[in-house]
Each structure stands twice: as structure tokens, then as C-alpha cells.
Amino acid sequence: MPKQLAVEARDLWKRYGFPLRPYLRQRWDKLRGQFVDDREAYGPWALREVSFAIEPGESLGIVGKNGAGKSTLLKLIAGVCPATHGNVQANGRLFPMIELSSGIHRELTGRENIKLLGAIMGFTARQMDAKMPEVEEFSELGNWLDQPVWQYSSGMQARLGFSVAVNVDAEILLIDEVLSVGDVNFRKKCLNRMDELANSGVTIIFVTHNPYAIERICQRALYIKDGRIAAEGSPHDILNAYFESSMDRSTIIEEMPVISAAQREGTGSFRVTGISMHDVETKQVIKSIATGDSALFRIALHVKEPTPHYIFSIRIIDPAGTVLSFVDVPMSTRRQLALTRDCALECQIDHINLLPGQYWVDLRAHEVAGPVIDALSYAFSFTVEGHNAVIEQLENRGLIYLPARWTLAEPS
């Protein structure tokens, strides 16, 4: 007998509301004897042609831009709203955390809402009383549990909902970006708990913009773009496809004319007019380096006013927007680097131990304890290529490559 799937979606299409113009167009086409498939001609569609299957105990991450259809897909899986075409089936006790207020009554206390959410899941009052200490301990809400939820912040509501979700023996857990409102320590606690649930056989469908959470929790990922599944595969491959497709390159200045000063923040006493990366020895322009190599960044400046004192920063950013490193002009050299005319700043960064991939550079200059002079986001991009030792580390990506040696030693 074939094993039952945890979740299966077949040719899902979803359109919200009752769009009048598509309906009238469809009626007109029928009057003219033209019978067109509703799915092909009449939109707009929140989801189109979405099909996938999830095995019991599998963890699936879903990424995509805002409005791509991620939350709509979770609502269809949860049964919150019906599909316009196609069908989706979930087999098992399901708990959806799609919105902070899902299943929560604002006028009830936190404790009363825990019982309410348990009742929605099919638990009796006695069973929820037995689970209450675990929920209380995980939520860390203390005396706030006896206060009405309308007094809660968004982070406290997330604590309440998530604490119930991970303690009611759900077989399928739907989580839609609700952890983004919690504090850092609680998010870490939630990710650790999700690790435990995933390892215990709970099926998790996880929507988030946090790439490292997806790589940590999920075995597989979907990239949804404009309501369709654009890619499906390992978290590493899907995140790379998503970042490459969604990165805003509107401010990148390489191979482009100088961006108008009027479009950039800052006083403009000097402006960045170009940036390039060079080989440290040959000084030739390069676009990529190998993990562990050094590189020379050359930043061309147009100086409008003499600027003897300033702070200039290079920020290296990964595709998720995480700042990996700041490189500032050292205080000891600022006097030597006073700007009096058009020139170029050169910054050599040694031993760049980034893992293979594409990275971006932000530039920011401001007066010492004063206003911003110039700032460019995603001003330049470069690629890091790996060698064999680095490739082995890519399975568990992380942020940087740390060279290491492993040996066997006698027990102490």
C-alpha cells in the first residue's frame, strides 16, 4: 500500500473576490461562441498551476517576494479559503500560524486563548490544562497570560501563538513569517524547538525571508514567483535562485553613468563616481576572487569641497542583505587621507574568507560626529569562487570559510 502524503497540491489556482471585468469578458466570449478556459484567460491570479507533494516528517521552506502567493498557498493548505481550481489535501492534525491573530480573541486573556486554540485543535479542557505548564514555560509571558490579548504587543502575540503551536502535538505545522516580530532570544528558542519538531517527525511548511533559517530547518524549498513555482530543490539552490532573481540592482554603479547626486543622500562635499576591484599584485581589474584571496578596492571620488576629516566605510553584504563585515578608514590614517581634489581611495582587504557566491558592497561616508556625506547601497558586486576544501563546506553553508585541520589524539 503506498505511503500517504502529508500534503499534496494538484494544479492549484486561486483568484480572490469576484472580478467583474473578467466575468463580463467571459460572458461576452461565450455569446460570441468562443469558449476559453477560465484559467488561461481571466485573472488576476494569486496562484497558478501550483503542484507539489510533501512526505510525512519532511520540512519544506517557501521563499518569494511579497505578493508572490506564499501566504495564499498556506491558507489553501490550512483550509482557510478554497482554491478556485485544483485541490489540496492535508493528512494529519494541522496547526496554522499564518497570521498573528489567527484563532486569537483580543478580548480574552492569554490563558483563555490557549484553551481556545487547543479546543480548535480538538483537545478537551482537561487535556489543555495538562499542557498549560509547558505552554506557559515556553511563552515566558508570566503574569501577562492573565491579561487580555488586546494589551499585547505583536511580539507577545507571536510568543502566545507559537507556544501553543509547538505544544499541541501537531502533525503538520504551517508557519508564515510570524517569527519576524519576536525578539532575538525568542527567535533562537523557536528555531531550536522547530529543529526538535522536525527531528521528531513533524511536517513543517515554513515561509520566511530568513535564508539561514530555511537552510537550517528545511530539507527542501520552493521559490514562488508571480503565483507560480519558479524553482524547486535543495534550500541552497533555491535560495541562490531567489536572491539572483530578486536582488535590486538599481543602485549598482559599475558599467553605468554616475548616479545623479540629487538622487543620493548626504551633503555632497564629495561623491563616489566609481568603484572597481583589482588584483593586489598585478593591479588589473577583476570581477572575482577565490576564497581566502586578497583584493584591492579602488573608489573614485569627485571632491566639491575640501574635506579633511571624514569617516569612510565599506560594507560587504551577502545576497540576503546580511552585513558580513565593516571596513573603515582607520583613525590613524585619516589625516593622510584628507580630500582636497578629485582622487581615488584604495582599500586592500586581505584574506577574504567568504564562501563561494555573489556578494555586494555598500559605501558610506560621513563627517566625524556629523551628517552623511554620500551613501550608495549595493554599489558594486563581486563573485567569490571556491577551491576543493571550500566546496566540501557548502552543504552547511554558513557565512565564512574557516580553514581547519582535524587529527586523531589519544584520550586524555
Instruction: Check residue 208 and give its pLDDT.
Output: 82
* Most confident stretch, 93-107, 238-252, 357-371: 357-371
Q: Which residue has the higher pLDDT, 232 or 331?
A: 232
Mean pLDDT (whole number) for 268-276? 90
* Most confident stretch, 5-19, 237-251, 385-399: 5-19
pLDDT more than 70, % of the chain: 82
Predicted confidence band at 200 (pLDDT cuts at 50, 70, 90)?
A: confident
Lowest mean pLDDT among 72-86, 111-125, 247-261, 364-378: 247-261
Instruction: Check residue 193 and give its pLDDT.
Output: 85
Q: What is the 3-state secondary structure (H, E, C) of 149-212?
A: HHHCCHHHHHHHHHHHHCCCCCCEEEEECHHHHCCHHHHHHHHHHHHHHHHCCCEEEEECCCHH
Architecture of domain 7-244: 3-Layer(aba) Sandwich (3.40)
Per-residue pLDDT tens over the stretch 5-40: 889 999 988 887 665 566 666 666 677 766 655 555
Instruction: Check residue 1 and give its pLDDT.
Output: 45
The answer to whether 307 and 290 have CB atoms below 8 angstroms apart is: no
Other beta carbons less than 10 A from residue 174's beta carbon: 25
> What is the bridge-based pairing of β-strands 295-303 and 270-278?
antiparallel
Residue 253 has pLDDT above 80, yes or no: no
Instruction: Check residue 40 and give its pLDDT.
Output: 54
Residue 95 has pLDDT above 60, yes or no: yes
Lowest mean pLDDT among 27-36, 112-121, 375-384: 27-36
Instruction: Check residue 277 and give its pLDDT.
Output: 93
Instruction: Check residue 296 and give its pLDDT.
Output: 94
Each domain of the chain, given as residue ranges in start order, spans: 7-244, 270-388+396-409
**CA proximity to 256, closest of 376, 356, 406, 153:** 376
Top CATH class of 270-388+396-409 equals mainly beta
Q: Which residue has the higher pLDDT, 211 or 169?
A: 169
CB-count burial class (<10 Å; 0-12, 13-18, 19+) for 158: buried
Instruction: Check residue 43 and give its pLDDT.
Output: 61
Per-residue pLDDT tens over the stretch 40-91: 555 678 888 899 999 999 999 998 888 888 888 988 998 888 888 889 999 9
On whether the pTM is more than 0.75, the answer is no
